C-alpha cells in the first residue's frame, strides 16, 4: 500500500488567516521529514479541491471560524477524509467557550464566575460589576482565543466596552489575577507546562504575536504538587470535552493559588516558537517530532478503518 499523503491545510477565512498561513508552512516543512506532504491554502468555507479520501490525511492548521469550530471537520468527516486532531463534535464544543466551561465545571475543574449574553440583550455595567466586580474580562463566545478580548478595571471602562459590543454572543468573567499557564497534550497525555508572562499584563493578540512583548518560562517554575494538579486538570478537560490526538489547555493560577480554566484550543498555533511546541520541548520532542506524533493516531485510523469511517 502506498503511504498516505499528509495534507496540511492553512489560510482560511477567519481574522487569523495570516497566523494560520505561518503555522501551515512550518508544519508542512516539518512533516515532510517523515511523510509525503502536500500544502493546501484554503480560501473559502469549503474543502480545497484535490483532497482524496483514499490518499490524504489532513493536518489542519486553520484557526478561528471554519477552522476550530467543527465546520471543516464536519465536511471532512462527511466526505470520508481522515484528519488529525479533534472531531467535529469536540471541535464545536471546545470552540463554544460557554458550553466548554459548563462541561468541565461539571467534572470538577474550576472556572471563573461569569455570565453569557447576547449583544441584543446586554447586561448593564452596574449589573455586571455587582455580580463579577469591576475587573472583568469580556470576550466573544465563539472566536479565536485572542480575537475581541477586552479586560476592563472600572465601571466606566465596563460601560464603554459594553457600548462597543454590537453583535454576537459574549462572555463576561471575573478577572483572575495571577499566572497564566498552558499545557499541551498528545493522545490525552500531558506534556510540559509553560508559563506565559506578557509584559503588559494581558496576553492579547499583540502580546501573543509581537516579538518581545511576552516572556515564556519552559517549563513553568511550579512545585511538584502544583505541577501534578495542573496536569491532572488538563487531562480531565481533554477527556471531558471528547478531544482526541492533541490539544492545548490554558489556565490561570490566581495569586491565592487557585487554578481556573481559561479555554481549550483544539488547533493551536504551530510555528516552532508557538506554545504547543514549547510544551513539547519539555518532554524532549522537537518540532519535527511533535508534528510526527500529532498525525500518528490519524495514520493508525487510516490503516485500520475503511475510508468512509475515518
DSSP, residue by residue, 6-64: EEEEEE-SSTTHHHHHHHHHHHHHHHTTTS-EEEEEE-SSSPPTT--TTTEEEEE---S
Span 275-296, average pLDDT: 97
d(CA 160, CA 156): 6
pLDDT value at residue 145:
66
Interval 159-174: pLDDT, tens? 999 999 999 999 999 9
pLDDT band at 310 (very low <50, low <70, confident <90, very high): very low
Beta strand pairing status for 5-11 and 37-42?
parallel
CATH topology for 94-110+177-285?
Answer: D-amino Acid Aminotransferase; Chain A, domain 1 (3.30.470)
Q: Which of 265, 274, 292, 293 is catalytic?
A: 265
- The pLDDT assigned to 50 comes to 96
Q: Among 91, 248, 279, 292, which one carries the catalytic annotation? A: 248
| Residue 209 is a catalytic residue | yes
* pLDDT for residue 143 is more than 80: yes
pLDDT of residue 261 exceeding 50, the answer is: yes
* Distance from chain centroid for Cα 195: 16
CB distance 275 to 248 below 8 Å: yes
Query: Which CATH number applies to 5-85+289-309?
Result: 3.40.50.20
Percent of the chain with pLDDT over 90: 87
> What kind of fold does domain 114-174 have according to CATH?
Dna Ligase; domain 1 (3.30.1490)
pLDDT in tens, 215-225: 899 999 999 99
Q: Which residue of the set 263, 274, 279, 292 is catalytic?
A: 263
Query: What mean pLDDT is predicted for residues 40-48?
Result: 97
Quick: pLDDT tens for 194-246.
999 877 666 666 666 667 778 899 999 999 999 999 999 999 999 999 999 99
State yes or no: is 265 an active-site residue. yes
Catalytic residue, chosen from 20, 23, 90, 145, is 145
Residue from 170, 137, 148, 163 nearest 14 by CA: 148
**Does pLDDT of 304 surpass 90?**
no
What is the grid cell recorded at 30?
Answer: 516539518
Read off the pTM: 0.92
- Confirm whether 5-85+289-309 and 114-174 share one CATH topology: no
Assess whether 250 carries a catalytic annotation.
yes
Question: How far is Cα 277 from Cα 129, in angstroms, rounded to an integer?
Answer: 38
> What count of residues does the chain have?
310
Mark whether 269 is an active-site residue.
Answer: yes
pLDDT value for 200: 67
Q: Is 256 a catalytic residue?
A: no
Does residue 305 surpass a pLDDT of 90? no
Say which of 209, 235, 244, 301 is annotated catalytic. 209
pLDDT the model gives residue 149: 87
Give the residue extent of every domain in the chain.
5-85+289-309, 94-110+177-285, 114-174
Helices (H) and strands (E) in the chain, counts: 10, 13
Catalytic residue among 148, 250, 274, 279: 250
Catalytic-role residue among 11, 12, 16, 91: 16
More reliable by pLDDT, 267 or 202: 267
pLDDT at 177 over 70: yes
Residue 309, pLDDT > 50, answer no
State yes or no: is 16 an active-site residue.
Answer: yes
Chain segment 94-140, per-residue pLDDT in tens: 999 999 999 999 999 999 999 999 999 999 999 999 999 999 999 99
Average pLDDT for the chain: 93
Query: In which band, very low, low, confident or very high, does the pLDDT at 277 lie, cut at 50, 70 and 90?
Result: very high
| Number of other CB atoms surrounding residue 2 within 10 Å | 7
Indicate which residue of 269, 274, 279, 292 is catalytic: 269
Amino acid at each position: 500500500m502506498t503511504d498516505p499523503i499528509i495534507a496540511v491545510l492553512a489560510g482560511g477565512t477567519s481574522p487569523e488567516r495570516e497566523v494560520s498561513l505561518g503555522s501551515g508552512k512550518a508544519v508542512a516543512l516539518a512533516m515532510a521529514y517523515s511523510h509525503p506532504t502536500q500544502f493546501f491554502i484554503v480560501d473559502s468555507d469549503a474543502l480545497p479541491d484535490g483532497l482524496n479520501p483514499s490518499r490524504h490525511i489532513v493536518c489542519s492548521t486553520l484557526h478561528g471560524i471554519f477552522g476550530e469550530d467543527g465546520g471543516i471537520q464536519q465536511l471532512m468527516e462527511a466526505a470520508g477524509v481522515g484528519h488529525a486532531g479533534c472531531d467535529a463534535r469536540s471541535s464545536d464544543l471546545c470552540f463554544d467557550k460557554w458550553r466548554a466551561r459548563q462541561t468541565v465545571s461539571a467534572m470538577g475543574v474550576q472556572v471563573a464566575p461569569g455570565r453569557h449574553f447576547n449583544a441584543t440583550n446586554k447586561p448593564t455595567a452596574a449589573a455586571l460589576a455587582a455580580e463579577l466586580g469591576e475587573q472583568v474580562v469580556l470576550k466573544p463566545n465563539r472566536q479565536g482565543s485572542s480575537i475581541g478580548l477586552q479586560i476592563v478595571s472600572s465601571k466606566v471602562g465596563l460601560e464603554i466596552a459594553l457600548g462597543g459590543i454590537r453583535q454576537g454572543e459574549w462572555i463576561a468573567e471575573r478577572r483572575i489575577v495571577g499566572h497564566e499557564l498552558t499545557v499541551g497534550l498528545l493522545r490525552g497525555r500531558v506534556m510540559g507546562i509553560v508559563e506565559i508572562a506578557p509584559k503588559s499584563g494581558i496576553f492579547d493578540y499583540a502580546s501573543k504575536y509581537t516579538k518581545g512583548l511576552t516572556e515564556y518560562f519552559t517549563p513553568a517554575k511550579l512545585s511538584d504538587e502544583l505541577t501534578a494538579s495542573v496536569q491532572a486538570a488538563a487531562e480531565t478537560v481533554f477527556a471531558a470535552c471528547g478531544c482526541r490526538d492533541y490539544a492545548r489547555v490554558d489556565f490561570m493560577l490566581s495569586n491565592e493559588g487557585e487554578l481556573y480554566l481559561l479555554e481549550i484550543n483544539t488547533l493551536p498555533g504551530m510555528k516552532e516558537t508557538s506554545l504547543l511546541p514549547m510544551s513539547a520541548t519539555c518532554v524532549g520532542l522537537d518540532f519535527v517530532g511533535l508534528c510526527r506524533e500529532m498525525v500518528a493516531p490519524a495514520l493508525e485510523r487510516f490503516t485500520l478503518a475503511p475510508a468512509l469511517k475515518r
